[in-house]
Amino acid sequence: MSADKAPKKQISLPLRLTTDAMLTALGLGIWFLEAQLPPLVPIPGVKLGLSNIVILFALFRLGPADAAAVLLTRVLLASLFGGQAVSLLFSLCGGLLAFLVMWPVRRIVTNRQIWVAGILGALAHNTGQILAARFLIGQDAIFAYVPILIISAILTGLFTGICAQGAIRRLPFPPRLT
């Protein structure tokens, strides 16, 4: 439980900054690769959300400030590189809501329950996105997608959460510099 807090104090500021920058680059790369894949299913809002693996790693290994920094930098750079103004709104609503949920969840899950944070984060992400879509489209008919977005969030959140849990538990940290 408190294992995630120890490294935060151990690592030096330059190492921490470098790790944040590296995680941002990794998240951006994963985000870009996922954007190249065709949609899994023809349903708006359904995607794997692989870049949340990086955010979960930052949150559990470094801390909330690092995770927030990595998230915001990734979202801004991603919309700069490949998106329209609309996608920035969607990424921000989904990403920030996911972060605001995963942040307190970090304290109530064990090292073996990180996948729970993955699912709750994905549910919050999809909630943020459907609200953004409702705001943009201005019609309640779009809420017909809520059930399928809940199903999709549970499945994709479980997958990315398990990936993040594996990375958080197995990767050496702080990295051994030789």
Partner 1 sequence: MLKTRTWIILFAALLIAAAVFWWILGRRSASSSTVQIIHDGEVIREIDLDTVKEAYEFTWEDADGNRNLIRVEPGRIRVTEANCPDRICVEHGWLSRELTPIVCLPHRLMIQWKEAAP
Binding site residues, partner 1, CB under 8 A: 39, 42-45, 84, 86-87, 90, 108-110, 112-113, 116, 119, 133, 136-148, 150-151, 154, 158
Alpha helices in the chain (DSSP H): 6-10, 13-36, 52-61, 64-82, 85-108, 114-137, 146-170
12 or 36: CB nearest partner 1: 36
Contact 20, 58 (CB under 8 A): yes
22 or 86: CB nearest partner 1: 86
CB of 14 to partner 1, least distance (A): 35
Among left, alpha and beta (phi > 0; psi -120 to 50; other), residue 138 is left
CB of 69 to partner 1, least distance (A): 28
15 or 35: CB nearest partner 1: 35
CB of 12 to partner 1, least distance (A): 32
Contact 22, 70 (CB under 8 A): no
**Cα distance between residue 118 and residue 154, in whole Å:** 9
69 or 123: CB nearest partner 1: 123
